[in-house]
Structure 1
Amino acid sequence: MVEDRDHREGEIRLGFDPADRANAGVTFVGFIRSDWSRGKSPRNITQGREAGGGNARIELAPDYLPGLQGLDVGQPIWVIYWMDRGERDLIVQYPRHSPEPRGVFALRSPVRPNPIAMAAVIITSIDNDAGIIGIDTTDAFDRTPVLDIKPWIAGIDVPPSG
């Protein structure tokens, strides 16, 4: 059970726990390891970099080690992770940086129906035998489950200018 935080005026909760309505299965391919914990973590990747990166790395489960083939040090990747310690039933939030409440889909908050996050990071080291990928930073708590890793590709992952 997630520890409930204080809620602000204007916030709206769902009338159900989204976890009870799960209609797809996922598997964790590994875990993010970091120096971060509740109350002692950056609020986003930029703050993570400013704080020195948090000794960030991904430890893959042994069955997924062959998936490292083709990754290189210096390469940007997307890490998709499951914020397993976040609330899931708050649909409108009142962030401190906003003058008014905002819907969860307009925010990068970890409090969301499906606690999925993604971050573009740089590979700093790879140990193929141990399945450890060093990354330049994270904003995730230690032992946050990893759902997937994908290469960041400039021609695909940058929105068109217009």
Structure 2
Amino acid sequence: MPKPLRPGELRLETAPPEGPALRFIGRIRSPWGPGDCPRNISRARETGRPARVELDPAYTPALLGLAPGRAVILLYWMDDARRDLLQQAPAHLDGPRGTFAIRSPNRPNTISQSTVMLTGVDGETGVLEIDAIDCYDGTPLLDIKPWMPRIDTPPQAPGAQAHKPRR
């Protein structure tokens, strides 16, 4: 039984999946395909080629509060990636690494993430314009989270601010 709604809350009309299941909330539209996709978001930004996110209409109300200029984390499903590699030998490294030590899309669960800048937000159509992305056109989108420096910057990282506990 779902909890009662608080004032201002809006519930998804269709029931969420039961148990450990994922639901795609949209698709990423990029200029990339097999053979020309940058291997990371930094390289994608260097090309100057923007991209967009197309949300399933059921999720457009969840965009409330997002605006151009905001950084968000996109979580997406790399559906063409391998899921059987425990160690990999990327060409840019000096030797093999464990899958959990690199950012390759080839992993047990092919969830990838990129922190992107919103350049446009259309809450009516559910389209987000973004500065760049490093995945194929049509990649399924799992989630969007706001990037927050106090939460998402690791301690001891250059430029990180000391975390002050809330009272």
Please indicate the TM-score interval, normalised by the length of the shorter structure. 0.7 to 0.9
Q: What's the Cα RMSD here?
A: 1.1
Does residue 81 (structure 1) correspond to residue 82 (structure 2)? The answer is no
Cα displacement (A) at 1:101: 0.9
Structure 2 portions without partners, runs of 5+: 1-18, 158-167
Query: TM-score, structure 2 length as denominator?
Result: 0.81
Q: Where does residue 29 of structure 1 map in the other structure? A: 25
Relative contact order (alpha carbons < 8 A, sep ≥ 6): 1 or 2 greater? 1
Structure 1 Cα separation of the partners of residues 94 and 123 of structure 2: 47
* Amino acid aligned to 1:26: L
Q: Where does residue 15 of structure 1 map in the other structure? A: none
Q: Where does residue 91 of structure 1 map in the other structure? A: 86
Q: Residue 90 of structure 1 aligns to a residue in which SS? A: coil
Does residue 65 (structure 1) correspond to residue 60 (structure 2)? The answer is yes
Cα displacement (A) at 1:97: 1.5
Cα displacement (A) at 1:90: 0.9
Does residue 51 (structure 1) correspond to residue 47 (structure 2)? The answer is yes
Cα displacement (A) at 1:94: 0.7
Structure 1 Cα separation of the partners of residues 60 and 109 of structure 2: 26
Structure 1 Cα separation of the partners of residues 123 and 42 of structure 2: 28
* Number of positions where the alignment pairs a residue of Structure 1 with one of Structure 2: 139
Percent of aligned pairs with the same residue? 48
Query: Would you identify which runs of 4 or more consecutive aligned residues in structure 1 move more than 6 Å?
Result: none
Structure 1 portions without partners, runs of 5+: 1-22
Q: Where does residue 8 of structure 1 map in the other structure? A: none
Larger Rg: 2
What do residues 20-59 of structure 1 show as CA deviations (whole Å, max 9, x unaligned)? xxx8210000010011001011110000000113x31100
